[in-house]
Amino acid sequence: MTGRVSFVGAGPGAADLITLRGARRIAEADIVVWAASLVDPECIREHARPDAELVDSSRVTHEDVLEIYRRAAASKLKVARVHSGDPALWGAVQEQYDGCERLGLDVEIVPGVSAFSAAAAVVGRELTIPEVAQSVILTRLEGGKTPMPDGEQIREFARHGTTMAIFLSAARTGQLAEELRAGGYAEDTPIVVAYKVTWPDELVLHTTLGELEATVKEHKLWRHTLFLVGQALRAGGTRSRLYHAGHFHTFRKADPAARRALRAETAGSRAEAPKAEEPEPEPRRAKPTRWSLRAGRAGRVAARVEAGRVEDAVAAQADATAAQDDAAAQPASAAAAWSAVHDWQETARNTPRGAKARAAKPVPAEEQPALHLVENPAAEPKPLNRPRTTVAAAATATRRASVNVSAPEPAEPARQDRPETLESPESAEQPAAATRPAAQRPTAQKSSAQKQTGQKQTVQKSAKSRAGSPSARARKRNG
């Protein structure tokens, strides 16, 4: 078992407006912490135990209250922290709640009746009248001890034109009236001023926005005052359809005649309601095609180029004018010196330097490499005078050219891996060579390099070279 802290909403002030659960928590408490300036003392005396420790929170700080909670956690005591109205509204409860959780205490919040509900009950008005106001804004005037977040100003909330309940603002009624006017409320907007509502000395006043400041100053109200603002506070109202005989829900069926009448009434109210002016529809534009987009881009690029040219021309004209002015202002010797420097700069710009100069320098013919294509091994190769070519271009030209090569053949005519030779005119005249067994014929095989590159080379041998080579004469003798 551990200690427990109960945050109890005591209601707007009257001792008998506290909830049953709240009264029970006060009766069970070992320590009761309450604000004597905000909660009726009769409420505490009626429900608290005679031996309970009573602490007036208006005379202590937050740290002092946390010390009471630490004592409750150590001694496993029950504490009732009593707040006015509902603890969820401007009660400084969250910081205390978090502190109790850190101490390991059991924490609960008992809701209470808020002062704005009590004020509406005293004047006998519903704050959400059908077709008049269906929202209630709970807020306070900016300024004071606690700053307001950005975007939470009275004038911004007032633009909605619905019912507003404004707390903690009686000391600056003039500023409040100006904010309500800036938000769009009319001067005749009804306002209820409720001071210490449900207390024995309560004061409830009916006024308008135009008379608000004068009314508050006349009665010298600056604490414990609440303002209700909105058209829902006027006498009369519109009937709710929740309990209309023509309305049906889960627990009741609608009367057919009453339902037809309700539908007719709804249709008539809609017809009489002024229609808001609809904005004129924008002209429909054709979806741009791909070609129009390209043309548009080209036009924009051309316009930018033309604009750049115009700017360059204007800048050049300005430079020329400035140069003329400088030349006119300077003596003849200075102008001659500047002209010489300008000529030297132009010569330096037009002279190729670095890699450009090396690329522009011609290469002598004797230094240019020559590519030799051997057409006949017996004949002496002749150099070919060609322009300077890169390695990749030379390799491409070599692959495309058909080169006649004469590879030496081994002396053994019976080897199986000898490359096949094409028939020559002499082999055609000797039928014996053509009728040799297949095992003695040379076979055609591709070299590994040819298999990798996938390129075919045509190997030819001239009749004269075959007849004159030693290997050919050896094959004749063996044949």
Domain ends where: 233, 260, 288? 233
pLDDT of residue 205: 95
pLDDT tens column, 427-451: 444 444 444 444 444 444 444 445 4
pLDDT of residue 476: 57
pLDDT tens column, 53-103: 999 998 899 999 999 999 999 999 999 999 999 999 988 899 999 999 999
The reply to whether 79 and 124 lie within a common domain is no
CB atoms within 10 A of CB 299: 10
75 in a structural domain: yes
The reply to whether 50 and 104 lie within a common domain is yes
* Residue 18 predicted with pLDDT over 80: yes
265 in a structural domain: no
pLDDT tens column, 146-191: 788 888 899 999 999 999 999 999 999 999 999 999 999 999 999 9
162 in a structural domain: yes
* Residue 327 predicted with pLDDT over 80: no
Domain with residue 126: its CATH number is 3.30.950.10
61 in a structural domain: yes
pLDDT of residue 249: 78
Mean pLDDT, residues 232-238 taken together: 78
pLDDT tens column, 393-416: 555 555 555 444 444 444 444 444
79 in a structural domain: yes
The reply to whether 134 and 108 lie within a common domain is no
Question: What are 73-77's contacts with CB under 8 Å, separation 24+?
Answer: 73/2, 73/3, 73/103, 73/104, 73/105, 74/3, 75/3, 76/1, 76/2, 76/3, 77/3, 77/30, 77/31
pLDDT of residue 469: 56
* Residue 17 predicted with pLDDT over 80: yes
pLDDT tens column, 253-264: 888 888 888 788
Instruction: Decide the pairing of beta strands 31-34 and 53-56.
Output: parallel
The reply to whether 143 and 222 lie within a common domain is yes
By percentage, how much of the chain surpasses pLDDT 70? 58
Domain with residue 59: its CATH number is 3.40.1010.10
Contacts of residue 310, defined as CB under 8 A and 6 or more positions apart, other chains included, come to none
The reply to whether 129 and 229 lie within a common domain is yes
* Residue 236 predicted with pLDDT over 60: yes
Q: Which two tokens stand for residue 354?
A: 């670095």
The reply to whether 160 and 92 lie within a common domain is no
The reply to whether 100 and 126 lie within a common domain is no
The reply to whether 92 and 14 lie within a common domain is yes
pLDDT of residue 2: 83
Domain ends where: 212, 233, 254? 233
Mean pLDDT, residues 40-57 taken together: 92
Mean pLDDT, residues 316-329 taken together: 65
Q: Give the confidence band of 193 by pLDDT, cuts at 50, 70, 90.
A: very high
The reply to whether 18 and 84 lie within a common domain is yes
* Residue 111 predicted with pLDDT over 60: yes
Cβ atoms 194, 167 nearer than 8 A: no
Domain ends where: 191, 207, 233? 233
104 in a structural domain: yes
d(CA 465, CA 467): 5
Mean pLDDT, residues 126-150 taken together: 87
The reply to whether 55 and 93 lie within a common domain is yes
Q: Which two tokens stand for residue 21?
A: 């659960």
* Residue 125 predicted with pLDDT over 50: yes
312 in a structural domain: no
pLDDT of residue 265: 75
d(CA 434, CA 428): 8
Number of domains in the chain: 2
Share the mean pLDDT of the chain.
75
Kindly report the CA angle at 322 between 318 and 323, in degrees rounded to 5?
115
The parent domain of residue 34 ranges over 4-113
Instruction: Decide the pairing of beta strands 136-140 and 53-56.
Output: unpaired
